[in-house]
Amino acid sequence: MSVDYKALKNGGFMRQVQKNNFSLRLKVVGGNLTAEQLVTIAEIAQKYGAGRVHLTSRQGVEIPFIKLADVENVKAELLAGGVETGVCGPRVRTVTACQGSEICPSGCIDTYPLACKISERYFGRQLPHKFKFGVTGCVNNCLKAEENDLGVKGGYEVEWLPEACTLCGVCLKACREGAIEQAGEKLVLHSEKCNNCGRCVKSCPFDAWKGTPGYILSFGGTFGNLIAKGEEVLPIVQDTETLFRVADAALAFFDQHANPSERFRVAIERAGWAPFKQAIEEAYHG
Amino acid sequence: MADFLIDETVDITDVVCPVTFVKAKVALEELDDGQILALRMNDGEPVQNVPRSIKEEGHKILKLTENDDGTYTLLVRKVGD
């Protein structure tokens, strides 16, 4: 029997060192699984695998020691329990996310719904090479946005509301960047120092700092054979419509300019940051 | 600070995160609704984070002042029983 390894890999079956054994990669979005999904995964690992799972570096789950002969049964039983298989190869991979503002007091954006939207739009899409999205809720950056080909980081654009302010002094200390200064009865925001962390908004007892949530995007991050930090080329993006327009443009640029098996970062550097920036800015401005 | 009548004073300069917040929380639990707690805390991490944590617990921060010794005093009005 000839084995179509490529087809298997597309479906998330990773060939193991042990012949005819596969580590089955599952689809996980934003690091969230329901209790029901976990039970399904546990049952499959017990029945078809070696009774264990591996948690991957990007919030994924793999079930090792799945036998080639069981592949179709495993897929069907997983699906019946609400679990889909993941992807490997040259396509959009697992979209990662931290818990974001729904759970985390530091969060500036609701990361999980955004990760789901990104995943619905792009997951599994064929590209010249792998492509990773990561969503982190704030500049604490637990999800390491800049490691990703396209990183999304939540932040607040902040504005001081003098009528609400009692000059209590809390924000002056809450700001770690030294971006807020008191000048007499006024507070001055040094916007060049502000990193959009939102700590002034979150700490203010009088709601005298208004925070508008937005997305800080980074492009071309990679943390494998080549290590490079994703670069910010745009101002903070304020709505998901613009975010998706920009992401569409980034993927189109990748498709258009990359050689086969070339990572996004390498393609940008070969084509030049200037034309890349131009394409992204055009999309940003609509 | 003269504007406020302080009901209780607690020093959290002798502990570090997360006990700073725990000590403040316990002190607030001892008070009645509307009473005012003065919390003495260190510069750096405590003064950056404790006021926000207390706000998120639902109490009312009134004022943060720097003391002569480089510590800070935070005045908090207890909200709730």
Partners of A104 on chain B (C-beta within 8 Å) are none
CB-based contact A25:A62 (threshold 8 Å): yes
CB-based contact B3:A166 (threshold 8 Å): no
CB contact A174 to B (< 8 Å): yes
| Residue B56: CATH number of its domain | 3.30.110.40
CB contact A54 to B (< 8 Å): no
Partner-chain contact A173 B72, CB within 8 Å? yes
What is the count of structural domains for chain B? 1
Buried-exposed string A201-215: b where 16+ CB fall within 10 A, e elsewhere: bbbbbbebbebebbb
Q: Which CATH code, of 3.40.1780.10, 3.40.225.10, 2.60.120.10, 3.30.70.3340, is assigned to A5-80? A: 3.30.70.3340
* Side-chain-facing half-sphere of A182: CA atoms under 13 Å: 12
pLDDT in tens, A170-187: 999 999 999 999 999 999
Partner-chain contact A174 B62, CB within 8 Å? no
| Token pair listed for B51 | 């006021």
On the question of pLDDT at B3 being above 90, the answer is no
Per-residue pLDDT of chain A (286 residues; tens, 9 = 90+): 566 776 676 678 899 999 999 999 999 999 999 999 999 999 999 999 999 999 999 999 999 999 999 999 999 999 999 999 999 899 999 999 999 999 999 999 999 999 999 999 999 999 999 999 999 999 999 999 999 999 999 999 999 999 999 999 999 999 999 999 999 999 999 999 999 999 999 999 999 999 999 999 999 999 999 999 999 999 999 999 999 999 999 999 999 999 999 999 999 999 999 999 999 999 999 9
Cis peptide before A205 (omega within 30 of 0): no
CB contact A3 to B (< 8 Å): no
CB-based contact A139:A155 (threshold 8 Å): yes
Tell me the one-letter amino acid at A264: F
Residue B3 lies in a domain: no
Residue B63 lies in a domain: yes
CB contact A8 to B (< 8 Å): no
Using the structure block, give the residue that is written with the tokens 């000590």.
Answer: B23
Partners of A199 on chain B (C-beta within 8 Å) are 48, 52
The chain A residue lying nearest B71, using CA atoms, is A173
pTM of the model: 0.92
On the question of pLDDT at B1 being above 70, the answer is no
Partner-chain contact B55 A203, CB within 8 Å? yes
The chain B residue lying nearest A167, using CA atoms, is B63
Backbone φ/ψ region at A282: left (φ over 0), alpha (ψ -120 to 50), beta: alpha
Ordered by start, the domain boundaries in chain A are 5-80, 96-155+213-285
Residue A264 has phi, psi (to 5 degrees) of -55, -45
Q: Which CATH code, of 3.30.413.10, 3.40.1500.10, 3.50.50.60, 3.30.930.10, is assigned to A96-155+213-285? A: 3.30.413.10
Q: List active site positions of B.
A: 17
* pLDDT at site A2: 60
* pLDDT at site A3: 66
Partners of B66 on chain A (C-beta within 8 Å) are 169
Nearest 5°: the CA angle B28, B32, B36 is 60
**How many other C-beta atoms are found inside a 10 Å radius of the C-beta of residue B25?**
15
Partner-chain contact A202 B52, CB within 8 Å? yes
Partner-chain contact A173 B60, CB within 8 Å? no
Residue B38 has phi, psi (to 5 degrees) of -100, 125
Q: Which H or E element spans position A36?
A: helix A35-48
* pLDDT at site A11: 77
CB contact A176 to B (< 8 Å): yes
| Mean pLDDT, chain A, whole residue set | 96
The chain B residue lying nearest A203, using CA atoms, is B52
